[in-house]
């Protein structure tokens, strides 16, 4: 028998074997989920493929597929024996968000201070008036001091920018 013919026969045999296994993996095969001591999903098992230990919970095809596809939580078994998805509580670090806002705000306006100082050093007419420049410096200092405020991180009491800076004048 030629090597090419032998290879084709082996391929056909393997294809038939995989089709047989595939048909066993269909809806008629019972599916189980095993949970650990804490109640969290430990393993998914297929009857006929895996040894199904005592304590494994039989599940529907739909639930089986959900436990594979939905990865936004931890699958657990509750006190009533129901399989549930425990979605972890997301805790927002408001202080970190406010510090990030403050840092961005300082970066957004730093160029005004630098331009004013450059114009002064070059003995040019400054774009900002002296009072606007002092208001800008006071606002930047208030932003730096914001995290030490007793009201931090309450957004409603953030330092207020001068009206000319926000275009509200």
Given this model, what pLDDT does residue 6 score? 57
Same domain, 12 and 76: yes
Bridging pattern class, strands 31-35 and 83-86: unpaired
Same domain, 37 and 55: yes
Bridging pattern class, strands 74-77 and 57-59: unpaired
Domain hosting residue 150, numbered range: 94-166
Q: What is the DSSP letter of 60?
A: -
- Hey, which residues does 60 pair with through a beta bridge? none
pLDDT tens digit at each of 169 positions of the chain: 566 555 555 555 555 554 555 555 555 789 998 888 887 888 888 888 888 888 888 888 888 888 888 776 677 777 777 777 777 777 889 999 999 999 999 999 999 999 999 999 999 999 999 999 999 999 999 999 999 999 999 999 999 999 999 887 6
- Per-residue model confidence as pLDDT tens digits over 1-46: 566 555 555 555 555 554 555 555 555 789 998 888 887 888 888 8
Given this model, what pLDDT does residue 42 score? 84
Same domain, 22 and 81: yes
Same domain, 101 and 38: no
Nearest-angstrom CA–CA distance, 61 and 32: 10
Same domain, 81 and 100: no
- The total domain count for the chain is 2
Task: Return the closest-CA partner of residue 84 out of 92, 73, 98.
Answer: 73
User: Which one of 29, 57, 86 terminates a domain?
Assistant: 86
Given this model, what pLDDT does residue 150 score? 95
Given this model, what pLDDT does residue 68 score? 80
User: Which one of 86, 118, 134 terminates a domain?
Assistant: 86
Same domain, 43 and 59: yes
User: Which one of 64, 86, 108 terminates a domain?
Assistant: 86
Overall pTM > 0.95: no
């Amino acid at each position: 028998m030629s090597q090419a013919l032998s290879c084709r026969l082996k391929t056909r045999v393997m294809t038939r074997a995989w089709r047989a296994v595939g048909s066993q993996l269909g809806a008629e095969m019972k599916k189980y989920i095993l949970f650990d001591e804490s109640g969290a999903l430990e393993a998914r098992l297929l009857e006929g493929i895996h040894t199904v230990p005592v304590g494994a919970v039989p599940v529907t095809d739909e639930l089986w597929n959900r436990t594979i596809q939905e990865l936004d939580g931890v699958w657990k078994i509750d006190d009533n024996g129901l399989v549930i998805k425990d979605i972890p509580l997301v805790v927002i670090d408001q202080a970190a968000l406010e510090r990030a806002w403050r840092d961005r705000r300082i970066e957004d306006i730093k160029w005004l201070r630098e331009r004013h100082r450059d114009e002064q050093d070059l003995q040019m007419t400054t774009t900002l008036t002296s009072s606007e420049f002092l208001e800008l410096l006071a606002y930047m200092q208030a932003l730096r001091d914001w995290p030490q405020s007793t009201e931090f991180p309450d957004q409603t009491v953030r330092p207020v920018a001068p009206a000319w800076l926000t275009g509200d004048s």
